[in-house]
Amino acid sequence: MRGLVSVLSFAACLATPALASAQEPAIASAQEPAPAAATEQSDPWEGFNRNLFAVHEGVDEAVVEPIARGYRAVTPGVFRQGVRNVLRNLRGPVIFANDVLQGEFNRAGTTAGRFVINSTVGVVGVFDPATPMGLERHDEDFGQTLAVWGVDSGPYIFIPLMGPSTVRDTFGRVVDAAFDPLNWIDGDEVDDVRIARTVFTALSAREQVLETVDDIRRDSLDPYVTIRTSYGLLRESAIQNGPADVQDLPDFEDIDDEPALEGSAGGENPQH
């Protein structure tokens, strides 16, 4: 199945800010038939978004992708992993703030513990000794916090060079920037650090999804739609902090069975 377009490298994609920072408002009642519009990501600006997506693809193929391939070619895997670790560690304060705002105090403790251990024992985040100690990494952002507070995702938007998003999640990115201590400090050196972080964040994210994007471009019936649907599903998972309750999974009717509900959406996930 084309979902498997993602199989291998999609895992990497999950971790990337570009494709992976999304979600939907979770949990509608399982008894309520899902409204058709809620099954897929709301995209009332699709025509405009497709134009932006075309711009993104043009710039990516001409500039960003070749640089990402070059980055992979000239750096060893251990170096790139170290870069990813440092970038993730720098997000610690933002994740911590959002853990707290969501009332997830255990997870806030995990984030704080990871930040302290990896910033010290892990040599400013290059290594990740916290994970083997049982402090598993997770991500949070203000878009997720708003979803937890009940704010709807709003329309889907595709932002060139930043990727898929929604109105809610785009606003969340702005707030996350305000949470980030690195943005509070003035000074030329700090400016350099901020620029370096931005460049490496983009480079590292793109490098991680090289195969995924290749697969989507090559095999997807509609790459724009595949990216939009992937983004929606990943954000749903991120908002509910991981795997759904197994009872919330959709039914897979046998074609010979009678439909469960007259006129219902044949196994479409009730929580969407």
- End-to-end, the C-alpha distance of the chain in Å comes to 21
Residue number, 150 or 243, with CB nearest to another protein: 243
Residue number, 189 or 256, with CB nearest to another protein: 256
**Nearest-angstrom CA–CA distance, 130 and 118:** 6
Supply 122's token pair: 């892990």
Is position 253 an interface residue for another protein (rule: CB under 8 A)? yes
> What separation in angstroms does the CA of 199 have from each of 6, 149, 182?
25, 32, 15
Q: What is the closest distance, in whole angstroms, from the C-beta atom of residue 202 to another protein in the complex?
A: 18
Of 56-64, 157-165, 177-185, 224-232: span binding another protein (CB under 8 A)? 224-232
Angle between helices 77-90 and 105-120 (to 10 degrees): 130
Is position 3 an interface residue for another protein (rule: CB under 8 A)? yes
Is position 255 an interface residue for another protein (rule: CB under 8 A)? yes
Angle between helices 167-179 and 92-101 (to 10 degrees): 120
DSSP structure class, residue 135: -
Is position 113 an interface residue for another protein (rule: CB under 8 A)? yes
Is position 47 an interface residue for another protein (rule: CB under 8 A)? no
Compute how many residues bind another protein; rule: CB under 8 A. 74
Is position 133 an interface residue for another protein (rule: CB under 8 A)? yes
Is position 225 an interface residue for another protein (rule: CB under 8 A)? yes
Is position 242 an interface residue for another protein (rule: CB under 8 A)? yes
Q: Which residue has the tokens 């998003």?
A: 165
Is position 116 an interface residue for another protein (rule: CB under 8 A)? yes
Is position 138 an interface residue for another protein (rule: CB under 8 A)? yes
Distant-in-sequence, close-in-space partners of 64: CB < 8 Å, separation ≥ 6? 161, 202, 206
Supply 30's token pair: 């399982």
Is position 243 an interface residue for another protein (rule: CB under 8 A)? yes
User: Of these, 82, 94, 97, 114, which contacts another protein (CB under 8 A)?
Assistant: 114
